[in-house]
A and B are shown apart, each in its own frame.
Chain A
Amino acid sequence: MKALALRWLLLLALLAATLGLAYLPLGPAAMPAALIVAFAMAAMIALTCMRLASAPRLAAIFAISGLCWILVLVTLGGADYVTRTILPVAGAMHPDRDAGS
């Protein structure tokens, strides 16, 4: 129970850290920094509260599959959005990008 309390305090410390990071002028690094802390916190919950390490092997496979599927979604979806050519049309739908182009 003491170990559990310590992990809870560690998670609250990580929460304070991510809040503090948000006010630093990190520029484009702000998103990766916030996501890294979020992944670290999620991993702690998965290992401590969801006991992923001692879960049935098939459960661990499903958990990892979920992450793999999301990786496929982000990779293929992202490749589309990053490489797609948007042709300018009347009544532009993307004012931010059109202003920058």
Chain B
Amino acid sequence: MAEIRAGHPAVGMQYEDLRHQSDTALVGMWLFLATEILFFGALLFAYMVYRLWYPAGFVAAVRHANVLIGTINTAILLTSSFTLTAGLLLARVGDMRRLVWACLATMALGLAFIGLKAVEYVEDFHEHLVPGAGFALAETPGAQIFYLFYYSATGIHLVHLAIGIGLVAYIVRRTRRGDFSARYHTPAEVVGLYWSFVDIVWLFLYPLIYLVGRGG
């Protein structure tokens, strides 16, 4: 990649060569992800504090969460990270057709996650697990706070995932347009970083929402 230098149409004027441009883009995404660690970290920290204050309410609420959907969704997201990574491995050897297929599989998995989450939200609504008047666990202090966290955290995560699906669709469009090659597909690599980060966030939400407290 180093031989494609400044002056080439693919290289921005502020870069020495394509590698410099690619590294800058990757570092930029990592910097953004560092701010995202703090964003989600503060949310998870608030969860921990309230869990210490209201242990009984949080355990009762965790036991009402749909662990089957939560587990399937975790497996779906893990798989989606690997389909996209497989696509990027193929892109590095110039197989752009399979990169498109890998991106489409990743998008399908992301949409499946959102679909299952929607089913879960509807179920929660029918079981009156929405904070406010008529909340099913109103007698258990702290359960409403758990569900506030649940809707905030999963909602923000869903927004991130939806953005990720849009970004992967953008990669599909650019790949089909012939913008990428084995030498240059940095935007796909950058989107891959974002997608895997969204996956990692869910890996922490999953035990906090669905698991810890079930064992008694």
Contact = CB atoms under 8 A, between A and B. Distances in A.
A58 B54 CA distance: 41
B54 A96 contact: yes
B interface, by DSSP: helix, strand, loop or mixed?
Answer: helix
Contact of B78 (A12, A23, A81): A12
Given A1-B86, A30-B213, A62-B27, A42 B203 contact: yes
Nearest to B82: A8
B84 A49 contact: yes
Contact of A49 (B38, B196, B206): B196
A27 to B, nearest CB: 8
A4 B86 contact: yes
B30 interface: yes
A56 B26 contact: yes
Nearest to A3: B89
Contacts of A25: 215-216
A53 interface: no
Interface residues of A, number: 51
Given A11-B78, A18-B207, A22-B215, A74 B45 contact: yes
A59 B207 contact: no
Given A25-B215, A77-B45, A50 B207 contact: no
Contacts of B34: 62-63, 65-66, 69
B78 A8 contact: yes
B33 interface: yes
Given A59-B30, A97-B53, A49 B203 contact: no
B66 interface: no
A26 B84 CA distance: 36
B196 to A, nearest CB: 4
A81 B213 CA distance: 22
A27 B216 CA distance: 6
Interface residues of B, number: 54
For A22, A31, A37, A49, the residue with the greatest tally of chain B CB atoms inside 10 Å of its CB is A49
B85 to A, nearest CB: 4
B23 to A, nearest CB: 4
A45 B207 contact: no
Contacts of A45: 78, 81, 196, 199-200, 203
Nearest to B32: A62
Interface in A1-31: 1, 4-5, 7-8, 11-12, 15, 18-19, 21-27, 30-31
Interface of B: 23, 26-27, 30-31, 33-38, 41-42, 45, 48-49, 52-57, 67, 71, 74-75, 78-79, 81-82, 84-86, 89, 141-142, 192-193, 196-197, 199-200, 203-204, 206-208, 210-216
5 contacts: A22-B210, A22-B215, A23-B214, A30-B215, A96-B57
Given A23-B214, A78-B45, 7 more contacts: A7-B82, A30-B215, A37-B207, A38-B204, A46-B200, A58-B30, A65-B34
